[in-house]
Amino acid sequence: MTTDVSSTTNARLQLQQTHHGLDRVKSAPQAVVESNNSLRSSLRPALRKSLAQRRKTTCGASSSLRQSIKFSTKDFVTKACGDLEMDYDMGPLLGEGAYGGVYACTHKETGAERAVKIVPKSLDEKQNDMVIQEFNVLKELDHPNIVKNYALYETDTHFHIVTDVISGGELYDLLESEFSEMEVRELLKALLTCMNYCHQQRIVHRDLKPENVLMEESHDFTQVKVIDFGLAEFIQADNNFTEAAGSSYYMSPQVIQGNYTSKCDIWSCGVIAYVCLGGYAPFSGADEQETAQQILDATQVYFDDPVWDDFSEDALDFIEYLLTYDEDERPTAAQALQHAWLQHCDDDLSEAQVVDMDKSARVSLESLKAFHAADSKLKQCTYSLIASQIVRKEEKEYLDKIFQMIDVDCDGQISADDMRTIYNDKFGIDLQQDDLDGILYEVNLSGSGSISYSEFVIASMLEKGVLVTEHNLELAFQMMDTTQSGFLTFETLKSVLGVDDDMENYVQQRIIRPADLDGDGKISLQDFKGFFAGRQPRSSVHSSVSSRRSCRSSSVRRSCRKSFRASALLQPDPSDIDAGLAALRAEFNGPNYQYQTSSSMMMASSSVLNCSIGEDEPVLLETSLAITTEDEPTFKKLLSKFELESSINTNVPSMFRPQGSSSSGLTY
């Protein structure tokens, strides 16, 4: 398409004036226009109601029970039947679309500020289903470039969707400005990374346009947020769609023809790139019909206007690549991300930014290595809940760029290959396979095989001491206490954990019992806080020093044997230090724990050496281990992870104790 030179000056303004005037093929709520800043929100009442309705999971034999309970932050994004104003005070109108308004809202209990899109229910059930569909789609997505969804409230007359607040306005509002090539390159990399993630999750957006891209207040183009998934669909096996959807400027030829795939999103990205660089749309008729005809007739894209002389050949080639007419020849998001133009993103960084990236990568690696949660389902559940519903947006924003840097293949998840590439190849850090396996074992709480954005946030924030605070624990406890009884019991937790009644014994023994500090069979708030502070259950404190014999009674010995037999099913991989660590931690009070190394057998036997009465006094254990010289480095590595000291003499039983302790023994 050829554009007259004289029209270039007014092209941006004309696009602004005509863009909203065209009727768009859209049957979902308009984009959320959000502002202000974000604070902490518990959503406690709504969460209580919805967690009680959570899908239950049927589990098999006891050997698979641990694997059946997995957590992710999406488990706590909830749909509640009730009035939003029970939990929130409504604020001023922030923006309005064809299907409802967007308001500021403040959580009554915490003062948290968020945005809520209010959509009146329609007589057409299909319209109502689309609102729920948008919520369900967003619930599945966990990416730094997608607006975070918190809850959906439904009444007889309205839907209320609670989201994060994004304060920089729409990308559309900035189109009158002239963007640099570097800014547009950063923007397109962010959008394609987001689409690559969505498509990997089997979701197609179908309505990408500048109005549905929000800017942070800093106008950092790498941190844009994609919104309005009202027309999004889950991709079926054939990856084909027939219903026309989207906005006329950004529709691909195949969408207009009614036979298209997820690559419609790639075409939309190409139009956005063209508009941001050139200042006008590549296809723009007097009305929708004429615009559609121009798109159908456009077998190639033209750059005849002098404005394009200011941009590199790679930039123009990139746009042509995305706007490939034949959908079979058009790239996927992953392929588009490999284009030469996007490979220059790192070239745009200053020397100071490169140094900062190196430092951030190293700090992040230490956080990932230090994170340990694989041995406690209660911790996993609590961490996921806090990260999903309590942590403020501002508290984790600094992590977005670090996550994006480590996510080398831009699929929205961190794999072992990503970490190997960024740490070993780029930063020269010697990261061994054992390290990679250990990080994935501990940090990947959902068991997907890769670290999600929220799992990365959890590990990073926990190490910095901002995830588990007293206030956050109180809020998390209140959310999990779905019956408002003041205690966490199996009946309370089974809806949170998503388990059936046949798992009661497992939940009671492996989840409730370790945190039941006073031994009454349930977890109080005091127990809950004490558990995260490292305190042990009172049941571990058997008696006083004078009752040492009773501590060795047959009932105690039977309990130890039972504990050991149950744990023996774990069979930790000899090469997996972290798996061995978890087993040692869980079972060091067993009578005979064995850990097989490549060269010999380490035998660990524990017996009660000293006991005392009181909530805060731990049981003191004397532990002997017979190891060979070859095994010494491996064993010391285990102890250092436990933060324990050791004194090892070849062929002589070893004694070790907690750091700072003057007595021989292990606190358990």
DSSP labels, 142-207: --TTBPPEEEEEE-SSEEEEEE----S-BGGGGTTSPPPHHHHHHHHHHHHHHHHHHHHTTEE---
Rounded CA separation 454/384 (Å): 8
User: Could you tell me which of 231, 544, 191 has the C-alpha nearest to residue 336?
Assistant: 191
Q: Which residues are catalytic?
A: 207
Question: 141, 163, 185 — which closes off a domain?
Answer: 163
Instruction: Residue 465: give its domain's CATH number.
Output: 1.10.238.10
Contact (Cβ atoms closer than 8 angstroms) between residue 453 and residue 444: no
Cα–Cα distance for residue pair 8/306, rounded to 1 Å: 9
- Tell me the binding residues: 117
| pLDDT tier for residue 27 given thresholds of 50, 70 and 90 | very low
The stretch 361-382 carries a mean pLDDT of 84
Q: Which of 635, 563, 568 is nearest to 597 (CA)?
A: 635
Q: Quote the distance between the C-alpha of residue 290 and its chain's center.
A: 43
Q: Which of 152, 118, 154 is nearest to 137 (CA)?
A: 152
pLDDT band at residue 330, thresholds of 50, 70 and 90? Answer: very high
**456-474 pLDDT per residue, tens:** 999 999 877 888 899 999 9
Q: Are 573 and 596 within one domain?
A: yes
Residues 369, 272, single domain; the answer is no
Domain C-terminal end among 432, 454, 480 = 480
- DSSP code at position 212: G
Q: What is the pLDDT of residue 36?
A: 32
Residue 639 domain flag: yes
623 pLDDT tier (thresholds 50, 70, 90): very low
CA distance between the termini of the chain = 75
Q: Is 0.75 topped by the overall pTM?
A: no
Does 153 have pLDDT greater than 80?
yes
Looking at the structure, tell me whether residues 363 and 413 fall in a common domain: yes
Residue-level pLDDT at 661? 33
- Rounded (5°) CA angle 186-189-193: 140
For residues 158 and 178, state if they share a domain.
Answer: no
Least confident of 53-57, 147-151, 215-219, 327-331: 53-57
Whether residue 188 is found in the same domain as residue 337: yes
Q: Number of folded domains in the chain?
A: 4
Compare 631 and 241 and report the one with higher pLDDT: 241
Length of the chain counted residue by residue:
668
pLDDT higher at 460 or 44: 460
CA–CA separation, 543 vs 545, rounded Å?
A: 7
Whether residue 528 lies inside any domain: the answer is no
Task: Count CB neighbours of 59 within 10 A.
Answer: 18
pLDDT at 130: 86
- For the chain, give the mean pLDDT: 74
Residues of each annotated binding site for ATP: 117
Residue at 507 is within a domain: no
Domain boundary among 347, 364, 380: 347
Query: Which of 509-513, 529-533, 609-613, 624-628 is least confident?
Result: 609-613
Question: Are 318 and 176 part of one and the same domain?
Answer: yes
Q: Examine the pLDDT at 523 and tell me if it is beyond 90.
A: yes
CA 457, 460, 463, 464 torsion: positive or negative?
negative
Query: 297 and 289 in contact (C-beta within 8 Å)?
Result: no
CATH number at residue 343: 1.10.510.10
The answer as to whether 492 is a domain residue is no
Residue 535 belongs to some domain of the structure = no
263 shares a domain with 138: no
DSSP 499-554: B-GGGHHHHIIIIIGGG-TT-SSSEEHHHHHHHHTTPPPGGG----GGGHHHHTSH
Q: Which of 377-391, 480-494, 528-542, 606-620 is predicted with the least confidence, judged by mean pLDDT? A: 606-620
- 271 and 217: one domain? yes
How far apart are alpha carbons 145 and 223 in whole angstroms? 6
Whether 192 and 122 have beta carbons less than 8 Å apart is answered as: no
pLDDT at 161 over 50: yes
Q: Kindly report, residue by residue over 222-280, the tens digit of the pLDDT.
A: 999 999 898 999 998 877 999 989 999 999 999 999 999 999 999 999 999 999 999 99
The counts of H helices and E strands in the chain are 25, 18
CATH number, position 110: 3.30.200.20
- In a shared domain, residues 86 and 229: no
Residue 149 lies in a domain: yes
Whether 621 maps to a domain, the answer reads: yes
Range of the domain at 126: 76-163
| 235 and 108 in a common domain | no
- The predicted model gives 190-208 an average pLDDT of 96
- Report yes or no on 517 lying in a domain: no
Same-domain check for residues 327 and 381: no
Query: Minimum mean pLDDT among 96-105, 418-427, 474-483: which range?
Result: 96-105
Question: Is residue 122 located within the same domain as residue 206?
Answer: no
